[in-house]
Amino acid sequence: MASTPYERRGFRRPPRNYAQLDLFASRTADSTKEAAPETAAPETEAADAREEDATCGEDSQALADAPSANGRPVAQGTSAGADAPRSPGASRGPPVRTDLREEDGLPGGVGDSDRRVGISVERGPPATIVRGLETEEEKAPARDFRITNAHHIGEGSLREKALTNIDAIRILKEIESENRDATQAEQAVLARYTGWGAMANAFRPYPPQEWQSVAHQLRELLTEEEYASARASTPNAHFTSPLVVEAMWQAMRRFGLRDGAQILEPSMGVGHFFGLMPDDLVPGSRRTGVELDSITARIAQRLYPDSTIFAKGFEDTPLPDNYFDAAIGNIPFGNYPVYDPAYRRQPALTRTIHDYFLARSLDKLRPGGVMAVVTSRYTMDKQDSTIRRHLAGHADLVGAVRLPNTAFKANAGTEVTTDILFLQKRPPGAAASPNAWLDLAPFETPDGTVPINEYFVRHPEMMLGEMRLEGTMYRSGEPTLAGELTSARLAQAISSLPGGIFIRSERARAPPDMSPAAPTDITAIKDGAFAERGGALVVRIGERFEPANLPDWVAGRVRGMLGVRDAVRRVFQTQLEDAPEDQIIEARQRLNADYDAFARRFGPVSSRENVKA
């Protein structure tokens, strides 16, 4: 259920009044567009805001170096193109492994997110965000697409959806070749692109007769890289039912989310959550989406040119921590890990892709912000509570809704029991909610007792069906929520969630000075390795450096080892360059001195404490 930078052919000539503008620079107090001041927040809220502002901008400048959905290039030397190859190897390997395994019964490749999950065959360095610089006198009209019932999103048989997908790809290619915006009629077709979940027949070496025409057209339309990406998406490129999307937005409104918010969708597909966002929440909101699959991301960029869309994997997208007011979407789920060096000290959070998306999305949410995501029921029901305990350490569970296994059958062609989780990130110093959801408890079903999350045992009304032990699309005897999803029952569950909990940010969130590293500087540092820049410890994450944020006792050891590492490199360099004997001797002496100084303070490099650091 589902991202590479734009292809160069997608760039257009900037119109008048467009200039480079930081996505994350909030409106100033003296802006002519500023609304009337709101009631001052309580002192505790203001303190939380100060705490948030001190931490939220650690890497938000990175998004100022990323492409907006309109694809206008403004920075010289910026490389942006789907043709940029991704180098293999341990330091920049694929984001997920293909050797799948099972976790508590969840089969590998299961997915029901609004995003395509698979191995990216093309990723590039970040480009630059462009925002429209508008005035009250001459304001550009909104270009982002709005979904209505007339667009019939998700309707039709699998074959009908496949043919619609082909129409959408043809339109996309035509728009890109002509270097223009999509018309409203073209957007209406693009919005019906569903990806290739449950359509594996279209990619078989010898497809069934009824799929041969579709398979032939795909071979003609797609490049080799695009075809491989689409084929890899078939187990999990399932899109979200509009009924569920609209209910999640209603929950956000109930929590108190208002217009002007910073919105993150970490797994956007073609952007149904953007297209179905309530009209009253759209004005002034700044929406950021991430999508891995090239075709899907480029369609989203044509549908939502005024939003910021990263065409790359979530793990490769530079986003600021503690920044967004809300995160919403349908995250991918499956039993394969994600490679993200930023979480190398927390490997348990990257072992399954759904756990990783939950953890990183929460990291990007600011204190007081709210999150609504569709995920596998195993997030709540699996025996291993690591991810639940991690989330509970930073956020409160506002509530959860369990959807019947048929909730996505019509729209995505898949039967799987899913949960909508609603979380709120706790402000610093706030007490945790007593709403317990860490452990499992027995629950009686007509087929016997099954262990499910204690939250649902206490709130069976939030399960919109009947728990049974029955066969699924993956195995028999599987705990499943049977039944049919109705709008009335879903609305009733949403209405039982608490209201007015959203804590509005009252202060501007200016980005820090954390520009991308120069290519000549970053290539000397391995991905995930430490370096020192401007007196601060940083770690290389993809094509940029980010703050390491280490405890003082660890930072001292790391700085010491960096000095030893650089001294070793200097010795090697003098020998490889056949330097004069006195320079080689001097380099060796410097290495001996640096290592002796480190060992006196921290012990041998091979000691347990230094290895852990």
From the list 118, 31, 133, 28, the residue with the least C-alpha distance to 72 is 133
Beta-ladder partners of 480: 468
The mean pLDDT value for 106-111 works out to: 42
Res 79: pLDDT: 33
Does 456 fall in a domain? Answer: no
CB atoms within 10 A of CB 243: 18
pLDDT at residue 243 in the model:
93
* Cα 133–Cα 134–Cα 139 angle in degrees, nearest 5: 150
- In the chain, the amino acid numbered 110 is V
State the pTM of this model: 0.66
Alpha-carbon distances of 368 from 51, 288, 509, rounded to whole Å = 11, 19, 14
Average pLDDT value for residue range 420-428 = 96
* Domain membership of residue 537 as a residue range: 519-612
> What is the Cα–Cα distance from 332 to 375, expressed in whole angstroms?
7
DSSP 330-373: E----S--B--GGGTT-GGGSSSHHHHHHHHHHHHEEEEEEEEE
What pLDDT was estimated at residue 359?
Answer: 97
Q: 546 lies in a domain?
A: yes
Give the mean model confidence (pLDDT) for residues 469-480: 71
Please enumerate in sequence order all residues whose Cβ is within 8 A of that of 471, keeping only pairs 6 or more positions apart, or say none.
477, 478
Report yes or no on 378 lying in a domain: no
Residue 533 lies inside a defined structural domain of this protein:
yes
Per-residue pLDDT at 183: 95
Please indicate, yes or no, if residue 463 is contained in any of the structural domains: no
Q: Output the average pLDDT for the chain.
A: 77
Over the stretch 444-460, which tens digit does the pLDDT of each residue have? Answer: 999 999 999 999 999 99
Quote the tokens at residue 138: 């001459």
Q: At 231, which helix (H) or strand (E)?
A: helix 224-232
From the number of C-beta atoms within 10 Å of its C-beta (0-12, 13-18, 19+), residue 239 rates as buried
How many domains does the structure of the chain reveal?
Answer: 1
Angle value at C-alpha 248, between 243 and 249, nearest 5 degrees: 100
Residues with Cβ within 8 Å of 516's Cβ and at least 6 positions away in sequence, in order, are: 62, 65, 125, 126, 543, 544
Residue position matching structure tokens 């649902």: 456
How far, in Å, CA of 121 to CA of 85, rounded? 7
- Residue 459, domain member (yes or no): no
Inside any domain, residue 502: no
pLDDT in tens, 348-406: 999 999 999 999 999 999 999 999 999 999 999 999 999 999 999 999 999 999 999 88
Amino acid 62: pLDDT: 46
Residue 414 belongs to some domain of the structure? no
Closest listed residue to residue 197, CA positions, set 144, 270, 300: 270
